[in-house]
Amino acid sequence: MIEIREVSKIFQDRKAVQGMSLTIHKGNIFGLLGSNGAGKTTLLKTLAGIYIPDGGSVRIDGKPVFENPETKGRIVFMPDFPYFFPQASIRQMADFYSSVYPHWSRERFEELGGLFSLDPKRKLNRLSKGMRQQAAFWLALSCMPDVLIMDEPLDGLDPVMRRLIKNVLFQEVAERGLTAVISSHNLREIEDLCDHVGIMHEGALLIDKELDELKSDTHKVQVAFRDERHESALSGKLNILHRERRGSVSLFIVKGERERIADAFRVYNPYVLDLLPLTLEEIFIYEMEGAGYDIAPILL
């Protein structure tokens, strides 16, 4: 279990992460979303023990991460731009990882080699971006980590490889209880892969929820009222994240229980009433609007 308690990280005078708390349970695939500059990478690096928090604590299974080699030996961090030694081949990097990570598995490395069509003798600096990312996964998974922290991990991978990596991650979670933390701007990928989602904005966590719960908690309502006054009468009764007018039809984004929302609209006996599910992308955009992020340019 990963426990992030009141964590802050400050660069010069900029608070990248501000008193953030979050618990990620073993076997979760946790998707971390957020606006640009929200603090995701900073949080991931603090989780991985690369940064020391300026306040609060990060513990994995009750033990601190920073300068704790035992815990760090169970964590692998995959940065958005994988770093390898200059001139190193995949095999040479594998030798290095095997000397650093106590649970490195040569068998797993050979087994995964059958999935990635990469020659381990090839120099990493001669590979394409997507091939380097494949190599990064190959090496990371061969470390047999308990916690895998990934910053934009699927960037640059082709659709077949993305599917393959997702399947391997699902398998690692199911068979070994891997805990995965993934930061991404690709909300479709997050939707496909993650069971929990956190949304960050300006260094703070706006939302931390199971994906299914998050999706069943936010609804798109299309409604044509019989009387314009009915629209304003609704205001105080529901948690409305967003509303807009499209001709005679109004669109509402509302948080809450589906039936309660439907009942609140039905009272006015509207001409049209449709409750539709939202994609994670839509939820993200409207939550951001609720947090004061200007989404008007997106909606134009």
The residue ranges that bind ligand ATP (CB under 6 A) are: 11, 14, 16, 34, 36-42
Choose among 73, 39, 62, 67: nearest CA to 147: 73
Nearer to ligand ATP by Cβ, of 36 and 235: the residue is: 36
Quote the DSSP letter at residue 123: B
Q: Smallest distance from the beta carbon of 289 to ligand ATP, in angstroms?
A: 18
Q: Smallest distance from the beta carbon of 155 to ligand ATP, in angstroms?
A: 11
Q: Smallest distance from the beta carbon of 194 to ligand ATP, in angstroms?
A: 17
Nearer to ligand ATP by Cβ, of 54 and 231: the residue is: 54
2, 181 Cβ separation under 8 angstroms:
yes
Q: How far is it, in rounded angstroms, from Cα 249 to Cα 171? A: 46
Nearer to ligand ATP by Cβ, of 42 and 142: the residue is: 42
Strands 204-210 and 218-224: unpaired
Q: At what angle do helices 90-100 and 129-142 cross, to 10 degrees?
A: 30
Q: How far is it, in rounded angstroms, from Cα 108 to Cα 29? A: 21
Nearer to ligand ATP by Cβ, of 11 and 271: the residue is: 11
Q: Smallest distance from the beta carbon of 90 to ligand ATP, in angstroms?
A: 27
Nearer to ligand ATP by Cβ, of 9 and 219: the residue is: 9
Q: How far is it, in rounded angstroms, from Cα 130 to Cα 102? A: 27
Measured between alpha carbons, how far is residue 86 from residues 96, 124, 257, 258 in Å?
13, 8, 55, 55
Q: Smallest distance from the beta carbon of 233 to ligand ATP, in angstroms?
A: 40
Nearer to ligand ATP by Cβ, of 79 and 130: the residue is: 79
Helix, coil or strand: residue 17: strand
Q: Determine phi and psi for 109, rounding to 5 degrees.
A: -60, -45
Q: Smallest distance from the beta carbon of 199 to ligand ATP, in angstroms?
A: 11
**Residue 166 corresponds to which amino acid?**
K
